[in-house]
Amino acid sequence: MDTQEFISSVEKTLKEKPEDAINILRDPINSEVLGKCCWELIPRLSANLTEEYYIKNVNIYDCTVDLLLEIANTANPEDVFFEFIELAEKQKFFRSFINILRAIRILLMRAPQRRGTSISWCCSAIGHYLSEINLPQNSKLEGDEELILENDVQFQLVEEVYIEVLDFFSPFIEEIESGNYTVSEKHIDIYKDTLLKYLLKLFGHPLVSTYLEHSNNKSAFRRIAEKILQYIACFHIDFFSFLEYATFSSKENINLESEFNNLSLGVFYYLILVEGLYINEISHVYSNLYLFRQILWLCLTLMNSEDSRAHWKGLSLAENILKRIVEKELDFKKIDRFQSQEFVQLCSKIMIYSDSKRNRQKAVAIFTTFIRIFNPCGRYYLLLCIPEKIKEPGLIGYLSVKAKDFIAEALLRKNLEELKYFNGKCLHDLIKKFCSLENDTETDLMRYADQIVPSLNLLRYLVLRDKTNFTGIFDLIPILEKTYFSPLQKAIEISRAHYNLQKKEIHQSSGDSNQKFPTAVSVGGENLPEFSLEQKLQILNNALNMFDLIESLLTRLTECINDQS
């Protein structure tokens, strides 16, 4: 029987009598022809490995898998190894990937002398498959609630793949742990190095998007993460030694060809430092400043992800390393400015835009702590540069509050080193960031109220506290009168008139207080949806009350200025 007749016979039997097909491969008469045509038979059989085929004819699918495993057990490993690797790289259906992975492990175990160099191809195929997995997002679930996601079919499939991947690595880890190698002696180092690097990569996507926190009901993915750490511990290395590979980029570098990437290293150190896994086995010989610099790159990558669960891990890791730094310890001139700017920007975005409440809350706390660990120069620089990058009124208002706190602390201590960043031109530049109207007199005061109110409070504090004009605040008053106070008063008058007009239009549109009206009402630059008359009036009255508050603060500030003068 020639090779084509043999392949046709296998395919025909597989369709007509699936269970008998394997007997053709096991028949000693066909051993020679099987050896000659394996490279062609494998891709022909792979046509049956799709999810659609599994659904339509599971019997033929299962028998096809049996045939491939039989080939892995009997064929020359060197003849079919790359056929199976190519097959693994093409798979989309998780069951097929798992079964091909089992076949590849059989081949590796049968050819130990080649395993030292061949293992990298297998790891690469695993990494490629994991990188293609997508997990559903649900930012409404937080903390232990995320365990519910493990009932999702997609999460269960990912769990099954990870379990199979760990099973794939198991015999090789046992070999490393025992020290009894069957691989070629000259390949032992590269063999160990390859396994270690790919075990670390398993912490990246999609494990980064799973629930890994300690809880009474330990999640399946937490158990998987602990198993990976257990495997890595078998290499008896210093866990902190990988910090030197943290790359100087916040972008989510998950290049499959790179030896290390920030995403997987970030999860690795999250498990150690935040979750406390294997923390007692680490030799703490690294300075806190070194840990801060290196781990912050990993935090940036996690926080720059589009996944809220990655954000939580990045924030938690940042919180851990920030606790190691004493307030005002960092000299801004000696740290990476790009790194610091990136961190506060990403932290700010999570504070403002994240759908996750606990992420927002943690980001606010970390944001404040981060600024406070810098010396006065660093604090000033961050307060000055953040509004340039993120022009969100609420954030700028928050920075005004922080600036007021720092100035108050410096004045209380009479610390000239700190005060030099909050007087004269430095103070002027800072005030310009906080005390500005986006569209002059036409500024939407409802949108910018969170910036305006704190800025007026800051100015009033300075006027009342600095009676000797040490900070130079009174030198700025003439400028502020022209650029801020006067336009703001005019904006209040325009906004108040606009909102009063909208109230009048609503009253005139109908006498029925319970029906909905087509009259368009705009607040904060956005048209309101169809509300009842009472609801619309309540919203407009709230806006008018805000205008009254701003005007009251402005009036009080003016009085304070006049009194001091």
| 450-460 pLDDT, tens digit each | 999 999 999 99
| 290-340 pLDDT, tens digit each | 999 999 999 999 999 999 999 999 999 999 999 999 999 999 888 888 899
**Per-residue tokens: 224:** 């998987």
SS3 374: strand
Residue 100 and residue 64 in contact, taking contact as beta carbons nearer than 8 Å: no
In the chain, what are the domain boundaries?
505-564
Question: Taking the CA atoms of the chain, what radius of gyration do you get in angstroms?
Answer: 33
CA–CA distance, 95 with 405 (Å, rounded to integer):
59
The region of weakest confidence among 198-212, 215-229, 500-514 is 500-514
410 CB burial (10 A radius; 0-12, 13-18, 19+) = buried
Neighbours of 384 (CB within 10 A): 17
| 15-25 pLDDT, tens digit each | 999 999 999 99
More confidently predicted of 4 and 267: 267
pLDDT confidence of residue 3: 85
Beta strands in 300-415 (DSSP E): none
Chain mean position to CA 28:
56
Q: Is the dihedral of CA 446, 450, 455, 457 positive or negative?
A: positive
| 419-449 pLDDT, tens digit each | 899 999 999 999 999 999 988 888 888 999 9
| Residues in CB range of 368: below 8 A, 6 or more apart | 402
- For residues 210, 168, 227, 225, the Cα torsion angle rounded to the nearest 10 degrees is -20
Q: Is the dihedral of CA 264, 265, 269, 274 positive or negative?
A: negative
Beta strands in 180-223 (DSSP E): none
pLDDT confidence of residue 510: 60
CA–CA distance, 197 with 382 (Å, rounded to integer):
37
Residue 426 and residue 472 in contact, taking contact as beta carbons nearer than 8 Å: no
Helices (H) and strands (E) in the chain, counts: 24, 2
Neighbours of 32 (CB within 10 A): 10
Mean pLDDT estimate for the chain: 89
Residue 100 and residue 87 in contact, taking contact as beta carbons nearer than 8 Å: yes
CA–CA distance, 314 with 307 (Å, rounded to integer):
11
SS3 527: strand
CA–CA distance, 112 with 134 (Å, rounded to integer):
35
Instruction: Give 522's strand partners.
Output: 527
pLDDT confidence of residue 505: 80
Share of the chain above pLDDT 90, in %: 65
* pLDDT, average across residues 63-83: 94
Neighbours of 60 (CB within 10 A): 16
Neighbours of 460 (CB within 10 A): 19
214 CB burial (10 A radius; 0-12, 13-18, 19+) = exposed
**Per-residue tokens: 158:** 């990912």
| 374-418 pLDDT, tens digit each | 999 999 999 999 998 888 999 999 999 999 999 999 888 888 888
Confidence of residue 519 (pLDDT cuts 50, 70, 90): low
Instruction: Give 516's strand partners.
Output: 532
Statement: residue 90 has pLDDT above 50: yes
| 137-163 pLDDT, tens digit each | 765 667 677 777 777 888 899 999 999
DSSP annotation of 50 reads S
For the entire predicted model, the pTM comes to 0.88
Confidence of residue 252 (pLDDT cuts 50, 70, 90): very low
Q: Closest Cα to residue 66, out of 112, 148, 10?
A: 10
Residue 123 and residue 168 in contact, taking contact as beta carbons nearer than 8 Å: no
